[in-house]
Amino acid sequence: MSRKRPPSPPPVIEGFEYVSLIGSGGFSDVFLYQQRRPRRRVAVKVLLHEWTGEGQRAAFDAEADLMATLSNHPTIVTMYEADVASDGRPYLAMEYCSRPNLGARYRSERMSVPDVLRIGVQVAGAVETAHRLGILHRDIKPANILVTEYGHPALTDFGISSTLDDAGRAEGMSIPWSPPESFAEPPRTGIGTDVWGLAATLYSLLASRSPFEVPGGSNSSADLVARIESAPLRPTGRTDVPASLERVLATAMAKTPEARYPTALAFARALQQVQTELAYAVTPVDLLDEQGHVQEDTVDGPADDDDLGTRLREVVSVDPRGASPAAPGPRDGGPAAVRPGTTPGAGRAPAGVATGPVVDDDLGDTVHRSMASASTPGTQSASSPDLAPAPQPEAPARRGATGLVAGLLVLAVALVVTLAVVLWPDGGGPPEAEPDRTAGADVVDDPAPPADNLGGIVPAVTDLEGVDNGDGTVTFTWENPEPRDGDTYGWKVPDPLEESRYIEVLEPTKTLDADPSGRTCIEVVVNRDGSPSFDARVACVP
């Protein structure tokens, strides 16, 4: 990334209206456009003119093909189209993730353990899906995990990815999140590279620093490489991070690839085990087989479709009473959730490397199926061998006896109705009995209604604009649409390819030195109670 390079002019693209610059990289610029039909905001990545040679164009086309293959995964940024603009520059139109990416958040925000575990399992599903297609990402880091408006992580930037058959190249990786073999002679990459990168990213989210960064010490590239190659991984330093999670991260970041988890799925299973240990909801792993069905990856083949440990593009039917899965027993490669209504450890095969069919290139179809209904605890199905056949009623001896019994039943019913009217004249019933909470009783309390997950979103700034002061400085101002006591603002020079943090200011204004390139840009968010705006706004002054 070169801060001195001015962004290229946004291209004219039929059906799209230019809105603003999102960021600039070494080979491309990313702009925000408004698509006219359907009307939505999209991020458009445009290759620079000087990089439109045959080799760079082929690499750009390869990235488009990879994104098209993977982008229907719920944790991979969706690509809408790829084409060539009227000025000859190729572009990719992709999903616009408006909230600050994890690279912009991990240094200034203390992320909770449940959130980090959830993100880890979700992204591991995306990485495993790519690996099953024979694709390595090779540059997993916080800045390459974007966040949608609904807080869902989305993996992006497959620009330096490669196939498993061409895994020897390791150029272009980000040093703080790269494993030791990336710096070997010759450098090597493989599945273990992505496992390390994801683990290093989760470590960064917990520790608010990269894994081998020394706070207050020298952290040059040479220092980081030396520590990555030989220094042991230090704990995150947080008291709320359990020892089991520290061990999982240390295993995923072992110095040799052979000592790490063999697959991203095995890493996800280990994270799920920590979720179970801490009594958190177990996050499903999203995977897709070639039929678009849920597949539980086991040594012996797919398990039951209703296993909550693995799913792909499936709408799972959830018990409305909120019953939590029971704690699973040990499994090879990590745990999976226990299905509601089953006994822990029953009906589950140990997980391992996938032996089923790989994912088809066409990820376009989403299968919507309800989970197979679980048996109600305490009941048995008609096919249960333990259920004795119901005794057959004896034939009546006489018709007269039958009439006598019927008459007695009528009298009994009348008596019950009379007693009910006398005892409960208001039409109500008897007081509801307290649930049996003795040992062995199966009691499920109704939970409170779920909270609105959008209620805490911090609004974006409005009316962001800048003025050239004529003295080599530019002053930017903005408005807070919903100001609250304690609100502050964060600003930075927009840069999607580098790890930079927002600088806090108290007032809605900031004066910057004019960029020598002739175009000065700023990115601004509102900070509220430790959380930034859901949408970072960017403005530039030529």
Specify the domain boundaries for CATH 1.10.510.10 within the chain.
102-283
Residue 389: both structure tokens together: 């056949």
* CA atoms of 5 and 97, how far apart (whole Å): 25
Non-local (6+) Cβ contacts of 34 within 8 A are 16, 17, 19, 40, 41, 42
Segments of the chain scoring below 70 in pLDDT: 1-4, 26, 51-53, 55-56, 159-173, 288-457, 495-500, 534-535
Q: Where, residue-wise, is CATH 3.30.200.20 in the chain? A: 16-95
Spatial contact of 519 and 7, defined as CB atoms under 8 Å apart? yes
- Listed in order, the ranges of the chain carrying CATH 2.60.40.10 are 462-541
Three-state DSSP class for residue 458: strand
CATH topology of domain 16-95: Phosphorylase Kinase; domain 1 (3.30.200)
Give 469-523 as a DSSP string: -SSSEEEEEEE-SS--TT-EEEEE---TTS---PEEESSSEEEEEPPTTS-EEEE
Tens digit of pLDDT for each residue in 268-322? 999 999 999 999 999 999 986 554 444 544 333 333 433 445 444 432 223 333 3
> What class, spelled out in words, does domain 102-283 have in CATH?
mainly alpha
CA 491 to chain centre: 26
H/E stretch holding 196 reads helix 191-207
* Helix or strand holding residue 95 (H, E): strand 90-95
- Per DSSP, what are the bridge partners of residue 489? 505, 526
SS3 letters across 98-142 = CECCHHHHCCCCCCCHHHHHHHHHHHHHHHHHHHHCCEECCCCCH
Report the largest interatomic distance among the alpha carbons of the chain, rounded to a whole angstrom: 114
Output the pLDDT for position 173.
Answer: 61
State which amino acid sits at residue 91: Y
Say if CB 24 and CB 30 are below 8 A apart: yes
Question: How far is residue 454's CA from residue 448's CA, in Å, rounded to a whole number?
Answer: 17
8 Å CB contact between 326 and 344: yes
Q: What is the pLDDT of residue 482?
A: 87
φ/ψ (deg, to 5) at 377: -55, 135
Per-residue confidence (pLDDT) for residue 13, from 0 to 100: 94
pLDDT of 343: 35
Identify whether the C-beta of residue 134 lies closer than 8 Å to the C-beta of residue 530.
no
- Residues 310-325 as b or e (16 or more Cβ within 10 Å = b): bbbbbeeeeeeeeebb
Closest CA to 66 of 142, 144, 159: 159
Q: Which two tokens stand for residue 75?
A: 């944790």
Q: At the top level of CATH, which class does the domain 462-541 belong to?
A: mainly beta
The pLDDT assigned to 500 comes to 66
DSSP H stretches of helix in 424-459: none
Structure tokens at 465: 């604009």
- DSSP H or E segment with residue 84: strand 79-84
Q: Any idea which residue has 């958190």 for tokens?
A: 280
215 alpha carbon, distance to own chain's centre: 28
What is the distance between the alpha carbons of residues 10 and 31, in angstroms, rounded to a whole number? 7
What is the model's pLDDT at position 414?
Answer: 64
Catalytic annotation on 138?
yes
Closest CA to 534 of 148, 154, 153, 152: 148
**pLDDT value for 193:** 94
Cα–Cα distance for residue pair 28/297, rounded to 1 Å: 39
Q: What are 490's strand-pairing partners? A: 504, 525
Write the pLDDT tens digit of every residue in 455-513.
Answer: 456 788 888 999 999 898 999 999 998 898 889 999 988 765 455 678 989 999 999 99
Catalytic residue selected from 89, 105, 118, 138: 138
Closest residue by Cα to residue 318 from 281, 350, 275, 267: 281
**DSSP letter string, 31-61:** EEEEETTTTEEEEEEEE-GGG-SHHHHHHHH
